[in-house]
Structure 1
Amino acid sequence: MRADARRNHDRLVACARDAFAELGADAPLDEIAQRAGVGNATLYRHFPTRQALLEAVFRDHIDALCRQAEDLMSAPSPGAALKEWLGAVIAQGSTERGLAASLLAALGQDGSSCRAAVFGAARALLARAQEAGDVRAGVSVEQMFKLVNAIALATETEPDAAGQAAALLDLIFHGLTPRP
């Protein structure tokens, strides 16, 4: 990629990150292009769809979550590893107001490379926790993500978002554990 094209790409991603944080996942693409100082054609040349732009904005976050999941696959307690990772997913979604909804949008569409990566990581951790008897059988990755996303959205504007999210994750995880 040419140097000027790389600068435009990087500016578009940075401005999109700010716009999504401020206005949510439906931030006007025209406004993002304007903030980046480029025309709409430049934006669409780099990111032909809103989904492509969302994925570019969250690629680093998704990659970090996947690396963490891989590291946690060798943790001694599969259930604790899953819970720790779900906490990290919530934290990523709650870093700034509006980012939870934007991250959900980035993960929302089937065929999304972000969704495939995160759901693959989650499947591996969930399967390991289920095999160890730490999480009940029949819980799906999709169900788990709906609950985690609900926590991120519900707590993102709370004064003690991290504390509230941890308390809600404890409640949910209690429901995920098998009953005798």
Structure 2
Amino acid sequence: MRRVRAGGLRRTAATAAAATLLLVATSAGRLPAGGPTYVTGFGALADDWQGQRRLEEGRVAPSDLVGLWQSVLWADGYLPRSGITCRYDTTSSDATRIWQGNHDLSPDGIVGPASYGFVGHRLVQAPPWTVYRGEKYDLPLRRGRGGVYEVYDTGHFDGLRSDAVTLVVCRR
């Protein structure tokens, strides 16, 4: 095994390769070996959600990511709390369209990089939380291990999945 010297510390090339693999796997929001997909963020908060999947009525499966977007709409006053269903339906699309129009974005009802980018600028650190500063309410989140966004759900923190519904609020 080839050894590399860096600043007086000896590291193996295999260790560096493994660290790179882990970084690539977690920065994409996916665990190795086809594991679950999570809402993740690294570095500056403002761009944390821009890489999330696009939300479009009739084209996205129910997920915690949809519940997160609906929670943003709730925090900004565009959906009632009962509107958080983790399903991107007509109600979500209509609320998104109005929200987009009121924020000088293209009012198409589709959540993509422009919408995620706009809300990203409202994410702030308030240790130990990462908070979305909504127009009506604050939405406390936690950016946990591996950059996974978590919410306090039924007595413990759970990672927000972009490929499944795990939130209790959405399983009613």
Q: TM-score by structure 1 length?
A: 0.31
Instruction: Looking at secondary structure, tell me which structure has more helix per residue.
Output: 1
Q: Which has the higher contact order (CA 8 A, sep 6+)?
A: 2
Instruction: Looking at secondary structure, tell me which structure has more strand per residue.
Output: 2
Q: TM-score by structure 2 length?
A: 0.32
